Homo-oligomer: A and B are copies of this chain.
Amino acid sequence: MNAVAEVLPRHHRSPDIRHMANALRMLAVDAVGQANSGHPGMPMGMAEIAVALWGRHLKHNPADPDWPDRDRFVMSNGHGSMLIYALLHLTGYDLSIDEIKRFRQFGSKTPGHPEVGVTPGVETTTGPLGQGLTNAVGMALAESLLACEFNRPGHEIVDHRTYVFVGEGCLMEGVSHEAASLAGTLKLNKLTVLYDDNGISIDGHVEGWFADDTPKRFEAYGWNVVRAVDGHDVDEVSRALQAARESERPTLICCKTVIGLGAPTMAGTHDVHGAPLPADEVEATRRALDWTHAPFEMPSSIRALWDAREAGAAAQDDWQRRMEAYRRVFPNEAAEFERRVRGALPANWRDVAHALVHDADRARQSVATRKASQIAIEGLARALPELLGGSADLTGSNLTRWKDAVDVSASPAKGNYIHFGVREFGMSAVLNGVALHRGYLPFGGTFLTFSDYSRNALRMAALMKTRTVFVFTHDSIGLGEDGPTHQPVEHAASLRMIPGLDVWRPCDSVETMQAWVSAIDRDRPSCLLLSRQTLPFVPRDEAQIDAIERGGYVLADWPSTCERDARRVVLIATGSEVALALAAIAPLKDEGILARVVSMPSTTVFDRQCNAWRERVLPEGVPRVAIEAGVTGFWRQYVGLKGGVIGIDRFGESAPASELFAHFGVTTSALVDEARRVAA
């Protein structure tokens, strides 16, 4: 007897349930077949789990995917994307059957992996395994913090849950450890994870490479674990979901399933994981499931079973009434809540931003830019109650904590500063989840070199356009004695290559303020690369201060009266090397070379400026030399083949910082030599 014959009849006592689950199966099978690409196994295996969650527990309104108090649903095993598309389609989201037919086709709302912003109802972009789960931890954290901040006795305007589907792949990934450990520590009890325990990953049966006792592992994290649930028994899954609601800890529901259940000869094998079913297997599946409808044909009776529009509208109406009651008693809080979940900045934001930058200019402080960043955070925290900070166990080094910050504690999680522990990747993906949830403006710190650990979360932030701020201190060999493992040399350049990620490497307190302001101003993620060591304050005129936000601008210029045929050179510098460039002006002048210094705190922002601005800053025909304590190849796109670049194309060394700059030749005198060469 095959798996379908064995398993299905046992649990599908109700024809309705059978129809609902099989509708998911067949949409997945047919869409993957039509695309000739995709992953049928997971949707077929998790169909009953989806019926239990989406049919009986999930609070959502298909007409308003942005309803702030909706439950969040994250499919961390994103390759099973047809499952969520089928669910969104059937429950009544704006996702037509035509879109299902265009699964994985150019410009459709049904891309290969779920993408937030593309498909209504998709909460986060998943596919890179483990990160969906980690985003969900961020969402559950945001819910808890927001509830503590805004709810009042008798007024629970924030009260929703976060549900996650995960497979073995997510649980093998290291980031699952960081996420689950943090969720357990913070006792995020509204987080429920449904584990699709089918014993199969792409290479086959997992016992040869994944022998964890996963329930025990999650108990070790302090989770509530529901073991050995039959994932094809909707009632049993539903009971576990009910039990999760009563737990004071996050819950892992371990569902035993058969991958690809419904496919008579392929269910339970890895062949069903990531490729269309062969045509004969599709037909056999139809027969086994007693599914008599043509591909993409869905009887109205089954549609009616799935339709969540009425219940969803009622749920949101009820919330809206409660929100109005809240507004009557707490009008200011209600307005603030709505601003926050809309992601809008306060009305006085422009003044705050202006003051932040200009106060720094007036203060003329020479400080490490990590210290300037802390000053920025102090100012921002006063104006932006949504600021939510943290560090991956480097608070005193990253200087990410402000004076009035409240450490986030558990039961329930509340506060606005998160000690993330040594979990760089987890932190970054949690921050993305917080940003996606809305209500907070999250940032987190670590050393720049460890941006490597979280690199794919930075990429995902850029892909999802989340407003997440990554504070990366100790930004070069300038960190000194900790040596090459801790000294980034390639990181600034390589972060700048991630499309849509803004990277700032400010040279002093004023540029640091503007970097923070720009990071908060934009609907995209930003990385702030900050020095460990003190950097001198640079005086600027008003126009220069205004120009910082353009990413690159003239910080010191040759005389406007200088002859057209004078020997001229443009020196381009970032961060700690700007002072070296400024110091080169005088010796060059002594040699009859007129130098302009361009400060380029953000190449990514500069690249987006209009041609006119870029040409004004970097006039054609004038030779250029760039200086940055990092890899040189990157700078050729600004200086050309004939220009000069002073930098470091090897790993650093353990020694005091000043010795290192001298040793690696990142010095004013090297810059002068190079400027002389190119200006010749």
Q: How far is the CB of A525 from chain B (nearest CB, A)?
A: 13
CB of A634 within 8 A of CB of B631, answer no
Q: Which of A396, A633, A659 has the most CB of B within 10 A?
A: A633
Instruction: Give the distance in Å from the alpha carbon of A485 to the alpha carbon of B420 in the complex.
Output: 25
CB of A422 within 8 A of CB of B456, answer no
A172 within 8 A of partner (CB): yes
Q: Which B residues are in CB contact (< 8 Å) with A420?
A: 209
Chain B binder among A125-133, A240-248, A334-342, A347-355 = A125-133
Q: How far is the CB of A660 from chain B (nearest CB, A)?
A: 8
Q: Which B residues are in CB contact (< 8 Å) with A636?
A: 636-637, 640
A154 within 8 A of partner (CB): no
The answer to whether residues A214 and B208 also contact, given A174-B423, A419-B203 and a CB cut-off of 8 A, is no
Q: Which B residues are in CB contact (< 8 Å) with A125?
A: 485
Fill in one digit per residue for A171-203: 1 if any B CB lies within 8 Å of its CB, else 0: 011111110011011000000000000000111
A425 within 8 A of partner (CB): yes
Chain B binder among A53-61, A535-543, A649-657, A669-677 = A649-657
Q: Which of A111, A425, A483 has the most CB of B within 10 A?
A: A483
Instruction: Give the distance in Å from the alpha carbon of A128 to the alpha carbon of B424 in the complex.
Output: 11
A287 within 8 A of partner (CB): no
Q: Which B residues are in CB contact (< 8 Å) with A480?
A: 37
Q: Which B residues are in CB contact (< 8 Å) with A169?
A: 393, 422
CB of B173 within 8 A of CB of A649, answer no
Q: Which B residues are in CB contact (< 8 Å) with A129?
A: 422
Q: How far is the CB of A606 from chain B (nearest CB, A)?
A: 12
The answer to whether residues A484 and B173 also contact, given A216-B220, A395-B202 and a CB cut-off of 8 A, is no
CB of A497 within 8 A of CB of B486, answer no
Q: Which B residues are in CB contact (< 8 Å) with A327?
A: none
CB of B181 within 8 A of CB of A212, answer yes
The answer to whether residues A497 and B634 also contact, given A112-B483, A219-B216 and a CB cut-off of 8 A, is yes
Q: Which B residues are in CB contact (< 8 Å) with A500?
A: 650-651
The answer to whether residues A499 and B651 also contact, given A128-B485, A422-B129 and a CB cut-off of 8 A, is yes
CB of A483 within 8 A of CB of B127, answer yes
A490 within 8 A of partner (CB): yes
Within residues 544 to 590 of chain A, which ones have a CB less than 8 A from any CB in chain B?
none
Q: Which of B111, B178, B633 contacts A174 (CB 8 A)?
A: B178
CB of B450 within 8 A of CB of A453, answer no
Within residues 454 to 483 of chain A, which ones have a CB less than 8 A from any CB in chain B?
455-456, 459-460, 462-463, 480-483
CB of A663 within 8 A of CB of B106, answer yes
CB of B463 within 8 A of CB of A456, answer no
Q: How far is the CB of A646 from chain B (nearest CB, A)?
A: 15
Q: Which B residues are in CB contact (< 8 Å) with A220?
A: 212-214, 216-217, 220
CB of B203 within 8 A of CB of A184, answer no
Within residues 13 to 33 of chain A, which ones have a CB less than 8 A from any CB in chain B?
none
CB of A649 within 8 A of CB of B397, answer no
Within residues 496 to 546 of chain A, which ones have a CB less than 8 A from any CB in chain B?
496-500
CB of A485 within 8 A of CB of B127, answer yes
Copies of this chain: 2
CB of A113 within 8 A of CB of B485, answer yes
Q: Which of A127, A217, A222 has the most CB of B within 10 A?
A: A217
A221 within 8 A of partner (CB): yes
Instruction: Give the distance in Å from the alpha carbon of A230 to the alpha carbon of B214 in the complex.
Output: 29
Instruction: Give the distance in Å from the alpha carbon of A280 to the alpha carbon of B472 in the complex.
Output: 34
Instruction: Give the distance in Å from the alpha carbon of A375 to the alpha carbon of B287 in the complex.
Output: 41
Q: Which B residues are in CB contact (< 8 Å) with A651?
A: 462-463, 499-500
Within residues 412 to 428 of chain A, which ones have a CB less than 8 A from any CB in chain B?
419-423, 425-426
The answer to whether residues A482 and B113 also contact, given A499-B651, A651-B500 and a CB cut-off of 8 A, is yes
Q: Which B residues are in CB contact (< 8 Å) with A106?
A: 653-656, 659-660, 663
A641 within 8 A of partner (CB): yes
Q: Which B residues are in CB contact (< 8 Å) with A264?
A: none
A281 within 8 A of partner (CB): no
Q: Which of A394, A482, A496 has the most CB of B within 10 A?
A: A482
CB of B422 within 8 A of CB of A128, answer no
Instruction: Give the distance in Å from the alpha carbon of A130 to the alpha carbon of B222 in the complex.
Output: 22
A301 within 8 A of partner (CB): no
Instruction: Give the distance in Å from the alpha carbon of A393 to the alpha carbon of B129 in the complex.
Output: 12
CB of A423 within 8 A of CB of B173, answer yes
Instruction: Give the distance in Å from the alpha carbon of A631 to the alpha carbon of B220 in the complex.
Output: 43
Q: Which B residues are in CB contact (< 8 Å) with A655?
A: 104-107
Q: Which of B217, B455, B494, B498 contacts A221 (CB 8 A)?
A: B217
Q: How far is the CB of A654 from chain B (nearest CB, A)?
A: 3
Within residues 619 to 677 of chain A, which ones have a CB less than 8 A from any CB in chain B?
631, 633-634, 636-637, 640-642, 649-651, 653-656, 659-660, 663
The answer to whether residues A104 and B481 also contact, given A113-B654, A174-B176 and a CB cut-off of 8 A, is yes
Q: Which of B214, B426, B463, B482 contacts A485 (CB 8 A)?
A: B463
CB of B631 within 8 A of CB of A449, answer no
Q: How far is the CB of A74 from chain B (nearest CB, A)?
A: 14
The contact sample of 28 A-B pairs, CB cut-off 8 A, is A37-B656, A78-B485, A106-B663, A112-B481, A128-B485, A129-B422, A174-B178, A182-B209, A184-B211, A184-B212, A201-B421, A202-B397, A203-B396, A209-B420, A452-B459, A463-B484, A463-B485, A490-B497, A493-B497, A494-B498, A496-B633, A497-B633, A497-B634, A500-B650, A633-B637, A640-B640, A640-B641, A641-B641
Query: Which 7 pairs between the two chains have the least Cβ-Cβ distance?
Result: A174-B174, A111-B654, A177-B177, A636-B637, A106-B655, A127-B485, A452-B456
